[in-house]
Structure 1
């Protein structure tokens, strides 16, 4: 079957239409199995072969089955690398505030990481004053956020495989007329998948700035295209002062996660706040003792299939980062330090972007280069150019989501 799949994909629309028109020699269920193994770009072409194929490929069940198959471990572990570049003064007819965005896909399985690098732009969509971030990636979709100084966030969900995106409606609090002292509030966002209802959700928490609080919670459903406030018990927490913008999040084991803090009298304890996307309930996961013993910076780290935390600290005037993973979800004793590294290595490490499923680490060096660190071989491999302003790396699979919806298409 794999040989036939490769032949069909190579010959693209002509071969597949010829097979369909002639009635084919394969049972329908085998043909469906073949189609589910093809990438989204090929399937988009095949929707124009005939009405029956269009109906099959755009069916919700086919889209769901295609995603399930794509996410199987034997299909490899891919990462999405996003770069935001400011134009140089040498570029003619380009305004200094017009960012240029690039994305690359690379596989952690291949001996030679091959890239599919494409240029795209959200500049026209993000015209509010403020700063842009990537909330996260989940099952083939990417959630972008543009945070403004007027306490409003523009959110976009994008499928790179299909070049389609949707712009989310305004959040509930942003539409309200309440006189809020905005400087007192902080925002947490997360992006996850509701496996029970086959729905993508964005979670938004509004909490007091650097004060222990029980936040307002809002959930956006991509299926219903709407926000709603939910009343649910949330563990008391506050966001540490070092989290200047939006804290990192990670979707794993059906929940989204953030690293937050809680005060016990004069003591401060760090822990992981979780939100179950299906049940829409909050929980908390304790961190290992070592991560609460000394002054340090903690954040959730994108990557792999395990909950990961980045720990940055100083010891004897030397700065280090370490990566801890929870090898058995929910079991505090399973927290394990998988890597520790001097920040002066490799010419100086500025940012740790992600941990891959195979234990490699995506780094941003002080030189501006983005590299893939292989701790086993103690080697780094270049992943991106050096002329960028911001970068994000996260797990990625190809998805057909949006293929059956009328959405905006992002020009490349």
Structure 2
């Protein structure tokens, strides 16, 4: 080939082009040359790639399991952006073979997945399905029932943490993922550090919503029994300082339709009335610690619904929320009230168990 036809692009241009490419293809592109390998492998690139694609390449991990007989579980990844054409299976079985265990998906954060063992009590795993790297976490050496697990990124230390909150006892367990692994293979690692146990100042509360991370705090909704009616509180935990705080919620409990979600970087509370199909969304004004009802919408959907945040609005200033109803998922835009439906096909004898918002990335925790 004529050497004059070769074009040498500046490294800055190559970097910007690679940032546009979905994570699923970047592992292959590492093999092009050493420059590309170094660029794609750098922490700077990985972080920038997550920030760029958090909103526009969001996916929903749909968990289905069998209604009767031996438990069969499968996960399907549905792209929110390309609903009709992008639909593929998460290689859940391959991960089970890799870990030599049957696993259950608990949480997703920046492309990392947190799994819990179905066979080994308190055994947890962190995996990136794109890079196929997995960590086996040390066993939690405590007998604690009904733990709510989540995987979060601590912005103050740039570390990923696994957090477990007990719904029965006022205890919290935190594990920080480090890079100094004691045992390492090409695919799995085992970390030597231990769990940190914390006391929570709340007892006799009942969790009503999953854990939501915003501005380096974990938030969840819980209720306490009152004389005439249950009292709702928003609880928050600073994942860096390990401080706790609470704010009373100005509505009565309508379990299970009260949820904590994130919209445009603000913490919001959903209040859905099944009888009227009315959805109210209250926004917390953090400085004044007051709730303001910003949205009141008639969803025109029959039956119970569950809401969750569109992936990390702090990245993309999204005004969309996800609504889950039976085997359907709806993407609802709060600004223009548009509603887009995603039908989840289900085989006979299978049911949709839960959904988790997820993005693909090359994030690593070493």
Query: Scaled by the length of structure 1, what TM-score is found?
Result: 0.67
Partners of 1:159 and 1:67 in 2: CA distance: 13
* SS state at 2:194 partner: strand
Partners of 2:127 and 2:101 in 1: CA distance: 19
Is 1:39 matched with 2:52?
no
Q: Which residue of 1 aligns with 2:279?
A: 322
Q: Which residue of 2 aligns with 1:401?
A: 363
Partners of 1:269 and 1:106 in 2: CA distance: 36
Partners of 1:144 and 1:287 in 2: CA distance: 32
| Aligned partner (choices 174, 177, 185) of residue 218 of structure 1 | 174
| Aligned partner (choices 82, 100, 103) of residue 61 of structure 2 | 82
* SS state at 2:202 partner: coil
| Aligned partner (choices 295, 299, 302) of residue 338 of structure 1 | 295
Aligned-pair distance for 1:202?
A: 0.8
Q: Which residue of 2 aligns with 1:188?
A: 148
Partners of 1:137 and 1:202 in 2: CA distance: 11
Partners of 2:113 and 2:230 in 1: CA distance: 33
* SS state at 1:258 partner: strand
Is 1:29 matched with 2:12?
yes
| Aligned partner (choices 139, 155, 161) of residue 171 of structure 1 | 139
**Does the 8 A contact of 1:301 with 1:355 survive in 2?**
yes
Is 1:260 matched with 2:222?
yes
Aligned-pair distance for 1:311?
A: 3.2
Is 1:238 matched with 2:207?
no
Q: Which residue of 1 aligns with 2:183?
A: none
Pairing of 1:39-188 with structure 2 (within 5 A): 39-71=22-54, 76-86=55-65, 96-107=70-81, 113-123=83-93, 124=96, 132=104, 134-146=105-117, 152-160=121-129, 162=130, 164-173=132-141, 180=143, 185-188=145-148
For these two proteins, the number of residue pairs brought into alignment is 341
Q: Which has the higher helix share?
A: 1
Question: In 2 relative to 1, CA 258–398 (structure 1 residues): closer, same or farther, beyond 3 Å?
Answer: same
Pairing of 1:266-345 with structure 2 (within 5 A): 269-277=231-239, 279-289=240-250, 291=251, 293=252, 296-297=255-256, 298-301=258-261, 305-312=265-272, 318=275, 322-326=279-283, 328-329=285-286, 331-341=288-298, 345=300
Deviations 1:178-235 (A, max 9, x none): xx5x6xx33122221122332211111335x2xxx53142324254535534365633
Partners of 1:119 and 1:45 in 2: CA distance: 20
Deviations 1:121-161 (A, max 9, x none): 435469989x94x433322223233466x8x234333435x
Question: In 2 relative to 1, CA 309–191 (structure 1 residues): closer, same or farther, beyond 3 Å?
Answer: farther
Deviations 1:277-324 (A, max 9, x none): 3x14132241432x2x4564433347764323333557xxx3756353
**Does the 8 A contact of 2:211 with 2:220 survive in 1?**
yes
Question: In 2 relative to 1, CA 36–329 (structure 1 residues): closer, same or farther, beyond 3 Å?
Answer: farther
Question: In 2 relative to 1, CA 313–170 (structure 1 residues): closer, same or farther, beyond 3 Å?
Answer: farther
Pairwise CA RMSD: 4.0
Question: In 2 relative to 1, CA 330–142 (structure 1 residues): closer, same or farther, beyond 3 Å?
Answer: farther
**Does the 8 A contact of 1:257 with 1:272 survive in 2?**
yes
Pairing of 1:347-362 with structure 2 (within 5 A): 348-356=302-310, 358-362=318-322
Q: Which residue of 1 aligns with 2:187?
A: none
Q: Which residue of 2 aligns with 1:15?
A: none
Question: In 2 relative to 1, CA 337–223 (structure 1 residues): closer, same or farther, beyond 3 Å?
Answer: farther
- Structure 1, unmatched stretches of 5+, are 1-17, 90-94, 175-179, 406-412
